[in-house]
């Protein structure tokens, strides 16, 4: 497939940066939530478990996106001189997808379960239960479709964090940066 034949060169590079920006955003969200549950719950085991598994998930997502976008980037840099058999292109793309929806999603699901367990005093009950549902969906994500529940959780937690503002921020502000 020629990713740059019809002016898709910019889209290839924009996609790469958006994927990596999403991973950076996930790391920032995980760090913020880690700091919040660390201060509020004083539960260091849950905090470390959440952070470790979540960071491993983010790294796995970055690797998966790197593999998935590697073929498109090779064509963007090499142009028509890069010739890869369609079966090989498909295999490489699938390896990237497997990294994202396999280990990446499973690890993120585990991190969300740890967040649910460690956030009794931080998150409202309804959001903790939604976090558990999203965590289970993340673990089930090799089936692909459950991962959309994790994405919905991401939107909900983002809106809740923006709306909650003050009290949640004050708990995090008291935490020294690590």
pLDDT in tens, 12-24: 888 889 999 999 9
Which pLDDT tens digits describe the chain residue by residue (178 residues)? 555 566 677 888 888 899 999 999 999 999 999 988 887 656 788 889 999 999 999 999 999 999 988 888 887 777 777 777 888 888 888 898 899 999 999 999 999 999 999 888 888 999 999 999 999 999 998 887 888 999 999 999 999 998 887 455 444 444 455 4
**Measured distance CA(54)–CA(116) in Å, rounded:** 13
Give the Cβ contact number of residue 121 at 10 Å.
Answer: 13
- pTM for this prediction: 0.83
- DSSP letters, 53-99, are HHHHHHHHHHHHHHHHHHHHHHHHHHGGG----HHHHHHHHHHHHHH
**Measured distance CA(165)–CA(157) in Å, rounded:** 12
Question: What's the confidence (pLDDT) of residue 7?
Answer: 67
Domain assignments of the chain as residue spans, ordered by start? 9-173
- Cα separation values, 79 from 54, 67, 108, Å: 37, 18, 36
Question: What's the confidence (pLDDT) of residue 132?
Answer: 96
Question: What's the confidence (pLDDT) of residue 164?
Answer: 82
């Amino acid at each position: 497939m020629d990713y740059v034949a019809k002016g898709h060169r910019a889209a290839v590079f924009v996609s790469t940066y958006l994927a990596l920006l999403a991973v950076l955003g996930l790391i920032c969200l995980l760090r913020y939530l880690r700091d919040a549950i660390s201060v509020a719950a004083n539960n260091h085991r849950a905090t470390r478990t959440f952070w470790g598994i979540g960071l491993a998930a983010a790294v796995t997502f970055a690797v998966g996106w790197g593999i998935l976008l590697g073929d498109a980037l090779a064509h963007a840099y090499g142009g028509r001189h890069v010739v890869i058999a369609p079966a090989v292109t498909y295999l490489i793309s699938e390896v990237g997808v497997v990294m994202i929806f396999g280990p990446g999603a499973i690890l993120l699901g585990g991190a969300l379960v740890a967040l649910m367990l460690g956030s009794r005093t931080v998150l409202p009950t309804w959001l903790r239960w939604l976090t558990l549902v999203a965590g289970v969906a993340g673990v089930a994500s090799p089936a692909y479709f459950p991962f959309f529940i994790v994405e919905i959780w991401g939107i909900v937690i983002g809106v809740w964090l923006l709306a909650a503002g003050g009290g949640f921020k004050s708990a995090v502000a008291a935490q020294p940066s690590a």
